[in-house]
Amino acid sequence: MSDKDISGRVKLRELKTLSDNHYVLRRVAFDYQRRDGQWQSMSRESYDLGDAIAVLPWDRPRGKVLLIRQFAGRCSSRACMSF
């Protein structure tokens, strides 16, 4: 696992559909291993609005894509639909 791959630092505990009316509302509970090695329990709620678009900001002078290091829980929960 590299510094960019955090899949080994996330353990899914529960994925629950809260509402399936006009949009799908889900709650995901998971454990996340912080950089200091400690595990932290978290939960997030997200609406599944279907496919989305992303923008990659480009730093033209340096010729690099600008990235922000963060954990996007919704993206991880979508891959775990068979939980």
pLDDT single digits (tens) 54-71: 677 888 899 888 876 665
Domain ranges of the chain: 7-78
> Which amino acid is located at 45 in the chain?
E
> Cα separation of 15 and 45, whole Å?
10
**Considering the domain 7-78, what is its CATH architecture?**
Alpha-Beta Complex (3.90)
Average pLDDT per 10 consecutive residues for the chain, totaling 83 residues = 76 95 90 94 86 75 79 55 46
What is the pLDDT, as a whole number, of residue 3?
63
What sign for the dihedral angle of Cα 15, 73, 75, 25? positive
> Which amino acid is located at 14 in the chain?
E
